[in-house]
Amino acid sequence: MFGKDSYSHDMKNIDPKKEQLYELCQKNGIGIDVMKAFAGGDLLDDKLSPAGKALTVIQCLGYALTRPAVSSVMCGSKSIEELRQVLKFETATDEEKDYAAALASFPKISWTGHCMYCGHCAPCPVKIDVATVTKFLNLAKSSEDIPETVKQHYMSLEHKASECIKCGQCEKRCPFGVAIRQNMEKAVNIFGS
């Protein structure tokens, strides 16, 4: 997402090639080890950040670990102090790990309309896990045939998109302006439930 090749100009949404890679790995059950989660430190500095605004170490790790297929992040540290900052992730609160508000306020990168799987749309009155449904929807949309594993995972959800009562509460809470009700309809069309 933040590779130097991809941030020489203002961006809208995730780099499509990297998104395809994440989705391909998720569909095939291949774990990704992330390196350069801080873009060599640039993401931690307002002036150097490609997004025009810094994130914290914990927000960078929280974002990386919630991408599809990501199983681990390998962090380089130049000093004991840097290592300590990384290890604080283990005891960080959900609020400290939350990257959504920071990402939504980036001046140079917009994720408008793109689900970041942050979970801010919860709670849904009929208990649909919108972030997970949307993740499966995006995985299915990126394939000509829906992978059997994706379909099985979707069908094992306790609450399916077909239960959506279109109340719109989730959309009011989404920091990225995602058309969640439309996505629920698309999920029903694709998965049949």
Output the CA torsion sign for 172, 131, 94, 19.
Answer: negative
Could you give the CA distance from residue 177 to residue 51 in angstroms, rounded to a whole number? 18
**Binding string, residues 133-152; x marks residues near ligand SF4 by CB under 6 A:** -x------------------
Say if CB 191 and CB 154 are below 8 A apart.
Answer: yes
Shortest distance, CB of residue 61 to ligand SF4, whole angstroms? 18
Q: Which stretch binds ligand SF4 (CB under 6 A): 27-35, 42-50, 53-61, 173-181?
A: 173-181
Q: 28 or 182: whose CB is closer to ligand SF4?
A: 182
Of these, 6, 110, 119, 185, which contacts ligand SF4 (CB under 6 A)?
119
Number of residues that bind ligand SF4 (CB under 6 A): 27
Read off the tokens for 83. Answer: 């290592």
Q: Which stretch binds ligand SF4 (CB under 6 A): 30-38, 49-57, 80-88, 118-126?
A: 118-126
Q: Which stretch binds ligand SF4 (CB under 6 A): 36-44, 79-87, 90-98, 126-134?
A: 126-134
Could you give the CA distance from residue 166 to residue 159 in angstroms, rounded to a whole number? 14
Say if CB 108 and CB 60 are below 8 A apart.
Answer: no
Could you give the CA distance from residue 183 to residue 130 in angstroms, rounded to a whole number? 9
**Angle ∠(30,32,35) on CA atoms, nearest 5:** 165
Could you give the CA distance from residue 32 to residue 193 in angstroms, rounded to a whole number? 30
Q: 35 or 155: whose CB is closer to ligand SF4?
A: 155
75 binds ligand SF4 (CB under 6 A): no
Q: Which stretch binds ligand SF4 (CB under 6 A): 38-46, 53-61, 80-88, 178-186?
A: 178-186
Q: Which DSSP symbol is given to 68?
A: T
Of these, 43, 86, 115, 150, which contacts ligand SF4 (CB under 6 A)?
115
